[in-house]
Amino acid sequence: MQVQTRFTYDVASALSQGQRDNQEDAVIADFPLGGDVGFCVLADGMGGHASGDIASKIVVTEVFAELKLQCGDTDLFESNIAEILNDAAQSANDCVRQHAEANPESWGMGATLVAPVLVRDHLYWISVGDSPLFLYRDGVLIQLNEDHSMASQIDYMVEHGMMTAETGEGHPDRHCLTSVLIGGEIARIDCPARPVALRDGDIILVASDGIQFLEESEIAGLIEDRADRSSAEITRYLIRALDALADPEQDNVSLCVIKVSAQGSGSGEPADRQTPEAGLPIHVEPALAAAAMQAAPGRVTVMARSGRDGLSMFYHVKRRAERTA
């Protein structure tokens, strides 16, 4: 029987409160074992304690629910993916507005959104705001999505000699968002119709902008050094690298690492993959569960759950006054 190549995914996520008083990020991932569709939804809240926390949860919950509802028929889902993603973002935006209208004290709350969706060997995404989506391939880290903040415009001015690098780096408007889910008109949405074709060995990193306290070269180096390790270990070392900075301004960080592996499925048995270094067969399987990890009490947790439908993960760090999830 002819062996057909299909992809499997090893996935892990984490949250860190950083040096902030509250956790305003939220992230959820769903990659059923043996399924053709998997996705992650991440949001970085804004609006202060309670409001930012609620906004990110609203966005993650609404987008996740819509994707889960629509992904049953893989072919139909992929043929309508751009419309589904845009509708999900708009629905989340409407929910943020409705909450703010019902709770005037939270007016001004909002959240970024980034949601990579993997359909077989294709990577789609939607993003609003400045939460980055990276692809690590062949030793190179590139940001796939647009940065909807003043940072990109300031960097352009630096590159063209209209501003010094020092001024640009410390510019007070650098992190001002130019598009966000805040209940009004969404200024900019990044949702390409054409997907990125995935390859064996690709590593996808989706995160809130708190990850960018590390330089991209540092992120790339950390991934390169552990590219043959599990997604949980890559996630753990990224968080540890941020903690090691000991930056008093460290923002909340949420992230999800997705490792892509090719797997044969012609005879019903998984195919072996050859590593270019040793030429030895290595059995490639997605992790059934990422180990729970705490970098600091009550601040960072990496969790996963394996059920009948495969690997399903939800990550949330609650305030101390709340019960443990």
Domains of the chain from N-terminus onward:
5-315 (3.60.40.10)
The pLDDT assigned to 279 comes to 27
Distance (Å, rounded) from C-alpha 22 to C-alpha 318?
Answer: 9
All residue ranges of the chain with pLDDT < 70 are: 1-5, 49, 167-168, 170-175, 264-325
pLDDT at 96: 97
User: Cα dihedral sign for 66, 68, 72, 78?
Assistant: positive
In order of 23, 73, 77, 87, the CA distances from 84 in angstroms are: 29, 13, 8, 5
Evaluate whether 27 touches 40 at the Cβ level (below 8 Å).
yes
How far apart CA 211 and CA 183 sit, in angstroms, is 26
pLDDT in the model for residue 280: 25
As a whole number, the mean pLDDT across the chain is 81
Nearest Cα residue to 22 out of 325, 240, 319 = 319
Q: Which of 249, 195, 233, 222 is nearest to 81 (CA)?
A: 195
Angle between helices 216-225 and 231-245 (to 10 degrees): 140
User: 3-state DSSP call for residue 243?
Assistant: helix
- Cα 44 to Cα 132: distance, rounded to the nearest angstrom: 11
- CA-CA distance, 38 to 26, in Å (whole number)? 18
pLDDT in tens, 177-186: 889 999 999 9
pLDDT for residue 48: 72
Summarised one tens digit per residue, pLDDT across range 255-274 is 999 999 997 543 333 333 33
- Residues in CB range of 104: below 8 A, 6 or more apart: none
**Quick one: which of 13, 11, 19, 10 has its CA closest to 302?**
13
CA distances in angstroms from 168 to 3, 31, 174, 175, 217, listed in the order given: 53, 39, 8, 11, 19
Q: What pLDDT is recorded for position 287?
A: 31
